[in-house]
Amino acid sequence: MRFDSPLAAVGHTPLVRLPRLSPSESVRIWAKLEDRNPTGSVKDRPALFMIEQAEKEGRLAPGATILEPTSGNTGISLAMAARLKGYRIVCVMPENTSEERRQLLAMWGAEIISSPAAGGSNTAVRVAKELAAEHPDWVMLYQYGNPHNAGAHYATTGPEILADLPSVTHFVAGLGTTGTLMGVGRYLREHRPDVRIIAAEPRYDDLVYGLRNLDEGFVPELYDASVLTSRYSVGSADAVARTRELLAEEGIFAGVSTGAALHAALGTARKADRAGEEADIVFIVADGGWKYLSTGVYTAASTEEAVARLHGQLWA
């Protein structure tokens, strides 16, 4: 494969069957390796697409400043694209975010504004909205509410999956901004009306939940429940166990949120197998494990020890 620039190389990721983790010959699990994007995560797709659409709409012009609340992958993707395209970028992220993430953002030239740790991403979103009001000339792409986030997956991820696997029956992905599930889900359903769209939502320990209360429940503007067929809530222990299983059984080194998506994919596969259905289940490998090495979950002697190491940390 040949591309005219690094940015043109976003997408076109491999779809690989997982022969050891698939429950039977008739129920097959497939991994879409989004860690093979230029900055190493699925977020390269919406980041580049949101920037290019903003350019077309005339919202972004050379010399402009991009503003985004992000604790990780989206900011890294936006910062790389901003550097290559000549924009200034300001990321608002919680003050307790890891050193690796700060370095990754800084190396592509992003300026970081810290938001208070309490409230996590919700607080970062609020601070970013306040900054946007103070600086009307800054352009906030706002991944949680920008239809071009889902649009990127409708235009690229969905068509790639259908072209590679016309027999697809289920699509599973993590639920964050909801962009991947909304975009791929709508595209696949238009072409395969019976396709099942399944969300894997991270479920944190009580320790992390202690930072929030019920009134702070934040639903991204992009979320449309009618696109989903099912929704799994995956705890830290299952996410870590599946992340390690994916590495041990299939040799795929993925981030912890991918373990959560795999857990939902395996639950879906088990149900299909019991029901005697033929199934081709695709799930998203959102990023590689590199940014999570310092947690120690990959090298811990046992899954129990790995879970203990992750205790109290945000992993998706």
Partner 1 sequence: MAIEVRIPTILRSYTDGKKAVEGAGETLSELFADLDARHPGIRERLVEDGELRRFVNVYLNDEDVRFLDGIGTKLSDGDSVTILPAVAGGMR
Nearer to partner 1, 101 or 162 (CB): 101
User: CA–CA separation, 94 vs 116, rounded Å?
Assistant: 6
| CA gap 264, 19 in Å, rounded | 17
Does the protein bind partner 1 through residue 147 (CB under 8 A)?
no
Kindly state the tokens that stand for 47: 């980041």
- What is the DSSP track for 293-309? GGGTTTT-SSHHHHHHH
- Spacing of C-alpha 89 from chain mean position: 20
Q: Is 149 annotated as a binding residue?
A: no
Q: Is 242 in the site for partner 1 (CB under 8 A)?
A: no
**Shortest spacing between CB 11 and partner 1, in angstroms:** 18
Q: Reply yes or no on whether 257 is catalytic.
A: yes
Interaction with partner 1 in 254-283: which residues (CB under 8 A)? 263-264, 267
Rule CB under 8 A: say whether 143 interacts with partner 1.
yes
Binding partner 1 (rule: CB under 8 A), the pick from 11, 38, 40, 120 is 120
Integer CA distances (angstroms), 191 to 12, 148, 159, 163, 294, in order: 19, 20, 10, 11, 42
Residue 234 as a binder of partner 1 (CB under 8 A): the answer is yes
Among 5, 86, 137, 219, binds partner 1 (CB under 8 A): 219
Does 73 carry a binding-site annotation?
yes
Closest approach of partner 1 to the CB of residue 124, in Å: 9
- Among residues 60, 92, 168, 175, the one that binds partner 1 under rule CB under 8 A: 175
Helix, strand, or coil (residue 170)? strand
Near partner 1 in 48-87, by CB under 8 A? 70-74
Contact present, 45 and 11 (Cβ < 8 Å) = yes
Residue 141 amino acid letter? L
CB of 277 to partner 1, least distance (A): 16
Assess contact for 186 and 160: CB atoms under 8 A.
no
How far apart are the C-alpha atoms of 83 and 110, rounded to whole Å? 9
Least distance from C-beta 253 to partner 1, angstroms?
Answer: 21
**Looking at this protein, which amino acid is placed at residue 35?**
D
Give kind and range of the element (H or E) at residue 89.
Answer: strand 88-94
Point out which residues bind partner 1 (CB under 8 A): 43, 70-74, 120-122, 143-144, 174-177, 201-203, 206, 209, 212, 214, 216-220, 223, 228-235, 238, 263-264, 267, 314, 316
Residues forming the active site: 43, 257
Which residues are documented as binding site for pyridoxal 5'-phosphate? 73, 176-180, 257
